[in-house]
Amino acid sequence: MYGDNSSMLIQEGTGASRKLGPIYDALEHKQYKLAYKLAKQATQKYPKHLGLRALYAVTLERLGKVDPEGLEVGRLVLREMRNTGGPGGKTGGENGSGLDEGVVNTLTIVFKAARRLDELQSTMEVIASEAKGPESVGAHRSLFNACARTFSFLKMQQCAMKLFKKTQDETYLFWAVTSAYLQHNSGGGAAHVLALAETVCRKAVEGAGGMGGVGACGPDAVLIYVEVLFAQGKTAEAMRALREAREKGAKTRLMGSQANMLECALCLGEGDAAGAARLLEEHVKQNPEDWHAFRVLAMLLVAGPGECGDECGGSHLPQTMDAVVSVNPLDKAERMAADMGRGGDLAALRQGGVERMERVMEEAFPAPGDEGEGKRRARARHLIGLDLHARLRPLSRHPDGPPAGNGGPASKVLSFWRDCGSNISFASDVADHLDLFTEEEAEEARGQLSREFEAMLAELEKELGEAEGENNVSSRTKKAFCKALSALEVNFALCRSRPAANAAEESIGLFRRCVDLYRGYDERENTIADPLVSLIASQVYWRGRPAFASDPCRRMHTLLNVLVVLSSGVDLSPYNSEMLLSLSLLFGHLGASELCSDLFWKLDVKYVQLETIGAHVLLPCLLASGNEREASKFCDRHQAFHLDHNRNAGDTFAMTFAQGTFLESVDFNGLRSRLRDSATRFAVAAERAATRVLAKGAQGLSQAAQVAQVERRELDEVLSEGLGGDVLLDEAEAGSGGLHFNQDLSVRPEWFRPVAEGAAGPAGVLRWWDDLEAEDSNQGRQGAAFWWSKPNACNSLGEERASEYRQGYRRGAAYRCELARCLEAALGGEGCGGGAALRAGVERAARSLGLDLSSGPGALDASLVGPGETARKLQVMQLAALAVTANLLDCASGAGGGQALEQGLSALERNVDYAVDQLFASDVKGGLLPDPSLCFFGGKGVVAVSTYVREVVAFHSLVYARWSDLAGELKKRQRKEKRKQAKGGGGSEPPPPSSASPDPKRVRDVVERFRDRHAVLGARLEPLCAQHDAKSLASAWLDSFRQSGELSCEGLSRQELGDLGKYEDVLCGVAEGQVGTLKVALDRMAKFLGLLK
Amino acid sequence: MCSVRSFVTDDLFNFNHVNLDMLTETYNLPFYLKYLSHWPEYFLSSSSPNGECMGYIMGKAEGVGENWHGHISAVTVAPNYRRLGLAAMLIDVLEVITEEVHDGYFVDLFVRVSNLLAINMYKKFGYTVYRRVLGYYGAEEDAFDMRKAMGRDPHKKSMVPLDHPVYPEDLECD
């Protein structure tokens, strides 16, 4: 952990070296103060021992004194090492001075923590250039590692070549080759870099005694050679190299079958489709479950051009690994085969292709349907059958096309269900093929599946009857249940847009019959009945969905019904992630952020999952509910994850060279780019800055300004790393190339559409509600699946909605980053470059929202009034306050702009009036507060109030507090000018008419009006909070359910949980959360308005 | 039907439906990267036709002399793809790699003594309890060290159970 101390340990037995052990122990046990004390004493006694001093620097780093204390010690050690390790210098010795790789590794910790690895690298360059003899190799290895830690590919390459010259070890040549390959792949090297790498490879092969000896240079040495050739389009040479290496027994990381597939991909690269098909045929006969190989073979032998699905459209991922053919070659083979098909190069091969494919199937699956076939093999046979059907079907419509095979998709799915319906994965296995169905076929399939379901239900009941009173349910019963469930799932997926009226009841009926199946599980396990609960939740949602736009009550009832279903499921299976995440999202969107957070963390989400799940599931909910404490905690954890990776990425990258796993070097470089230029990272950094400023803001302007400065610096630091910041903020880069989207959207339920703009901020929650209020266009539905349900969905290049999502996310993140910067500038921080700079920032932020302010802030007014999304209106209000602040800054500094200020102030007044009168009106359509007796705040109400208070009231109050200072400055300036004019003008020109002198009192009037109107709003909201305790609210909701006759899941609750208590408990939880959120919002409103007194 | 392929770092962004399972641990990035950089051949993922990760296995080769062996560090299958025999398939592949690539004497793994489901599953795959490791999971729980001999150990010497438990510090490998 604290560096390779092997060479330090050589000096064991010396007094100084004996001191090292206890310091290491203390560090390992996290007793940093003790380690520091011991290290300090030891260095005083042995001041020339570099190992001890390096360790002393580490103890300083652990105590948080890395800069300047730790760094200073580190620099001194390096300097001394350089002086004593250079030519003629004293090396090694009793004092442990001289060049020492262990010492360098230890110091790396300190320089890394101080983000000064470049300094270490440059010192190492000098040391390496001066070192001679055997020590020179160690020095150059240390230099190589130092360069690897900073990802300096060119320097790595040069250093590796020097190492080869010094040692004649071919391994170093592959270090150089990999470095060159990385240079090229990262866009930093021209084509000649690869040519050079190829030459170096040849030299290495020669030196190693041919391809057979290359394996000794590392498990990936052969493969990186193949890559270098492949990347230059020299596939024939690559193939020759691979074959020669295999013939001569060179070791690689690949198993035989993987190497065959690499050959297959190279065949395709060379245009030899027939050769590739032969290899694939052999492979699939041996590996009948390898769908990927089957698919590539089918693409070669059967499918016509243009029939390739999304998966062939590529993805929006770092290009580095995407270009590598040696790891998972079939990924690339699929694309190459599709390209060949599109180019019409496969016509000859496809003559008789169907028959050939059938023969392969017969050989791969010699005994279909036999008992001994096994689950996986049967599943494979049916899936390949469906895949082939999907390929043949469009071709069969052509007069000369091949027949699509026996039966339509309905009979195929049914036959699949009969053989494999008891697989838990059945529904998701067929989901991708459901868009094959015509309306009639879907109807036919549904009819047949319904009949099968009934038959299966009867069998299940018989099984359950026989098993009554027994502790464990037999596997036959479980199988029967799973088959019945699969039938329901597929049936529902076939008609999700028009679900059958009794679909949910059918499922609830099944659930009621099979609750015994929950017995005998460890509580941490998923049960086989869990997917049924998720299915019921989905059915309840889609049944209510068509009425959402017209009937807010129905909307709320449906969501609460879903909530109750899922809560019942979680009671029975407490750690089912699908249900927990759905519940967490629902609670969060209903304004019960504590429940949302509790359920989320119950899943033990950590490390990379903070990036892939947390930022789009948890964070927006916390922010929308004003839960700053939890939001701040989340942001800190997220940032710590990124910092940790930043710190360690270089080490793990360097490790790949030591291990000879060169393809991992390429992969790790891609990972680094994926995290460094992550849109999520920027979005969370912006939210962190805003959260901290707002959390401190209630204490006063100066505190807020101070925090805003610190946060802006940190935000700018994050934005300045890599390409991401520029790509995020620069509108010219609207294509968002270079930015990475790491969200795993597939964890969201199909009925919880991800929101792009503001996905990590509070706006995301409001937009989701706005979506519900819009007509149900069943957006996002693609066949039976939703676009975000697919793995890696938001990186899909073939999916238009994924592209829209990426663009929206980029815009949303850019807006929040600019907003945080503008707020800091408005509060008078370092970033405040006067009115013009702030105005430019506001214009950039507005552009991110798609608003053009170049002709003045009038566009903001237009966006606020009239129909539109709530989230957008709140954003517009933020921008309006900043735009007026820019005008006020101009006036206060004497730059004119009085008229613009006056216009801006009037607009702001209108905005505030509009917000208070219209947004919070209970009797206006589109208002946020429908009659509380119906359903409290109608779902969106609480989060809208909370977000309004956070994003508008708190934000404006902070800015207005600053206005008081500016108004004072303005007044002073006006007095001064008056005095000057009274004295004779001092030669100054009278101000131009457009810059008419603004009245500071007018500024104060606007602020007072803002404060007074919100005080009234607060007074209106307060009684609502007071008169509704959670219990009474839950009862009111329940009554509302009863009256509407929508207690659809009553059966589920009543049967399994005894009475309606479950309903009341769940509703009570939501009500408590909502009342709590509202109280926090009111408290915050009072505090921030207090700044304006 | 599943394709077994090498795990790549992009998979870390898509393995949530596997790792959100309570019995599957999510580690920090250096942990995964260490396995990828040292033993990439042992880190395999199985994917479904829809591209979803069905499960994965991570392992390593370690030990000296007759203790040279393959170790299963983690094997996990997404809840949706259970009961298909996928874990057995992944373990099979790891055993083949241990024999073909590393020529190891045996394959071993650690399992919580309370995890009877897993213990019985491993027994079905030919693994036997070699020894008990006291406090392997902290103060929380002991582990069983289970082993299966490979072709290089024809007399299955490596599987002969120890008659006494050991402590984590007594283990030959980390």
| A651 → chain B, closest CA residue | B30
Count other Cβ atoms within 10 Å, centred on residue A398.
9
Q: What CATH code is carried by the domain that includes residue A51? A: 1.25.40.10
**ipTM of the modeled complex:** 0.96
> Same structural domain for residues A140 and A54?
yes
The distance of Cα A41 from the centroid of its chain, to the nearest Å, equals 47
Architecture of domain B3-170: 3-Layer(aba) Sandwich (3.40)
Give the percent of chain A with pLDDT over 70.
87
- Residue A8: inside a domain: yes
Q: Which of A157, A667, A792, A320 is nearest to B35 (CA)?
A: A667
Structure tokens, A387: 């895949």
Distances (CA, A) of A938 to A629, A868, A1071, B90: 26, 18, 12, 50
- Assess whether pLDDT exceeds 90 at residue A850: no
Question: What is the domain partition of chain B in residue ranges?
Answer: 3-170
Q: Which of A21, A3, A8, A1 is nearest to A97 (CA)?
A: A8
- Assess whether pLDDT exceeds 70 at residue A778: no
> Same structural domain for residues A139 and A28?
yes
- Assess whether pLDDT exceeds 70 at residue A833: no
> Same structural domain for residues A329 and A471?
no
Q: At which residue do the structure tokens 């060949």 appear?
A: A340
Q: Which residues lie across from B4 on neighbouring strands?
A: B46
| A743 → chain B, closest CA residue | B13
Residue A417, judged by CB atoms within 10 A of its CB (0-12, 13-18, 19+), counts as buried
- Residue A417: inside a domain: yes
Which residues of B fall within a CB distance of 8 Å from A671? 9-10, 12, 29, 33
- Residue A946: inside a domain: no
Which residues of A fall within a CB distance of 8 Å from B2? 289-291, 376, 380
Q: Which of A405, A432, A452 is the last residue of a domain?
A: A405
What integer pLDDT is reported at residue B146 of this predicted model? Answer: 98
> Same structural domain for residues A37 and A139?
yes
- Residue A790: inside a domain: no
- Residue A783: inside a domain: no
Number of separate domains in chain A: 4
Rg (CA), chain A: 34
pLDDT in tens, A855-896: 777 777 777 766 677 888 889 899 999 999 999 998 888 877
Q: Which of residues A471 and A534 earns the better pLDDT score?
A: A534
- Assess whether pLDDT exceeds 50 at residue A513: yes
Model confidence band, residue A311 (pLDDT cutoffs 50, 70, 90): very low
Q: How many CB pairs under 8 A join A and B?
A: 195
Q: Which of A445, A479, A495 is the last residue of a domain?
A: A495
Cα separation, B174 vs B158, whole angstroms: 18
Give the percent of chain A with pLDDT over 90.
47
* CB A173 within 8 Å of CB A199: no
pLDDT in tens, A575-632: 999 999 999 999 999 999 999 999 999 999 999 999 999 999 999 999 999 999 999 9
What integer pLDDT is reported at residue A1083 of this predicted model? Answer: 95
Count other Cβ atoms within 10 Å, centred on residue B102.
21
**Beta strand B143-149 with A785-786: parallel, antiparallel or unpaired?**
unpaired
CA distance A708 to chain B (A): 31
Distances (CA, A) of A148 to A78, A155, A600, A651, B40: 19, 9, 38, 8, 20
pLDDT in tens, A429-475: 998 888 888 888 888 899 999 999 999 999 888 888 887 766 677 88
- Residue A96: inside a domain: yes
> Same structural domain for residues A122 and A50?
yes
Q: At which residue do the structure tokens 């930093």 appear?
A: A188
Q: Which of A829, A818, A819 is nearest to A710 (CA)?
A: A829
What integer pLDDT is reported at residue A736 of this predicted model? Answer: 53
Cα separation, B43 vs A663, whole angstroms: 14
- Residue A1065: inside a domain: no
> Same structural domain for residues A392 and A422?
no
Q: Which residues lie across from A678 on neighbouring strands?
A: A740
Q: Which of A443, A464, A495 is the last residue of a domain?
A: A495
- Assess whether pLDDT exceeds 70 at residue A2: no
Residues of chain B with pLDDT under 70: 1-2, 174
Asked if omega into A499 is within 30° of 0 (cis), the reply is no
> Same structural domain for residues A135 and A27?
yes
Does an H or E element contain B64, and which?
none
**Beta strand B3-6 with B44-47: parallel, antiparallel or unpaired?**
antiparallel
**Looking at residues A824-841, what average pLDDT do you find?**
82
> Same structural domain for residues A433 and A464?
yes
Structure tokens, A117: 């690895």
Model confidence band, residue A425 (pLDDT cutoffs 50, 70, 90): very high
- Domain limits at A440? 407-495
**Looking at residues A130-134, what average pLDDT do you find?**
82
> Same structural domain for residues A64 and A175?
no
What integer pLDDT is reported at residue A92 of this predicted model? Answer: 41
Nearest to A603 among B20, B79, B100 (CB): B20
> Same structural domain for residues A176 and A128?
no
Q: Which of residues A780 and A1005 earns the better pLDDT score?
A: A1005
- Assess whether pLDDT exceeds 50 at residue A127: yes
What integer pLDDT is reported at residue A683 of this predicted model? Answer: 95
Which residues of A fall within a CB distance of 8 Å from B34? 652, 655
**The residue count for chain A:** 1093
- Assess whether pLDDT exceeds 50 at residue A634: yes
> Same structural domain for residues A303 and A193?
no
Strand, coil or helix: A14: strand
- Assess whether pLDDT exceeds 60 at residue A145: yes
Which residues of B fall within a CB distance of 8 Å from A526? 21, 79, 82
Q: Which of A536, A539, A555, A535 is nearest to A547 (CA)?
A: A555
**Looking at residues A799-826, what average pLDDT do you find?**
92
Model confidence band, residue A397 (pLDDT cutoffs 50, 70, 90): low
Nearest to B6 among A295, A328, A379 (CB): A328
What integer pLDDT is reported at residue A12 of this predicted model? Answer: 39
- Residue A447: inside a domain: yes
> Same structural domain for residues A164 and A247?
yes
Nearest to B9 among A295, A668, A746 (CB): A668
CA A30, A36, A37, A40: dihedral to nearest 10 degrees? 150
Q: Which of A420, A434, A667, A748 to mutate to test the interface with B (most CBs of B within 10 A)?
A: A667
- Assess whether pLDDT exceeds 50 at residue A132: yes
Average pLDDT, whole number, for chain A?
Answer: 85
- Assess whether pLDDT exceeds 70 at residue A942: yes
pLDDT in tens, A184-214: 988 766 778 999 999 999 999 999 999 999 9
Strand, coil or helix: A314: coil
